[in-house]
Amino acid sequence: MDEPLSVLIVEDSEDDALLLVRYMERGGLCLRWERVETQAALREALVRGGWNLVISDYRLPAFDGLQALDILKDSGLDIPFLLVSGSIGEERAVEAMRRGAADYIFKDNLARLLPAVQRELREAEGRRKRREAEAAQKALEERLKEAEKLETIGMIAGGVAHEVRNPLFALQTVAAALHQKLGGREEYA
């Protein structure tokens, strides 16, 4: 990666945060990271922006990983969210995934961390490219509508210009229509 990966770590333990960072750096990732441990600090960091990934512990003193996920979702940002826990039951893990967590990783199996990070970064990039393509398509459709409007205006303007150049044409057309309506009799010709 040319630019460092910006990782926001929601973790009350500095040692655990450093362990996550070391695993990712050993895997070849260059990181810029910040650790937050309160809801307010998480919100502030999200407002500052620039994050590629959020990794959150499940159990925090003042709130939990699902609340951290909700804060991320409420921010409207499309950032992959990985949940890390020493012990999270299957029910909680399923709930986290259902609510939008990209993955959950047990602290005693951090070998899954790097592949999960890489996968989620690829998927986030795919979503970003898809949004850009959809926006470009929408802009192109708008330009096409404008071009069609301009073409119609051009045709009308061409007809008006013809009428202006040939003022008798309208009278001739009306006279011919009347003549036909009256049965084409010579006395009205």
Q: What is the pLDDT of residue 121?
A: 86
- pLDDT, tens digit, for every residue of 71-96? 999 999 999 999 998 777 778 888 88
Q: What predicted TM-score, i.e. pTM, was given to this entire model? A: 0.68
Q: Which of 114, 112, 101 has the alpha carbon at shortest distance from 54?
A: 101
21 and 97 part of one domain:
yes
Is 139 contained in some domain? Answer: no
118 and 151 part of one domain:
no
- pLDDT, tens digit, for every residue of 40-52? 999 999 999 899 9
Helix pair 39-48, 65-75: axis angle to 10 deg: 30
54 and 124 part of one domain:
yes
Beta bridge partners of 8: 34, 54
Residue in this structure with the two tokens 């921010």, named with its chain if needed: 75
59 and 150 part of one domain:
no
Q: What is the pLDDT of residue 91?
A: 82
Q: What is the pLDDT of residue 52?
A: 95
User: Which residue range forms the structural domain that includes residue 153?
Assistant: 144-188
Q: For the chain, list residues with pLDDT below 70.
A: 1-2, 157-171, 184-189
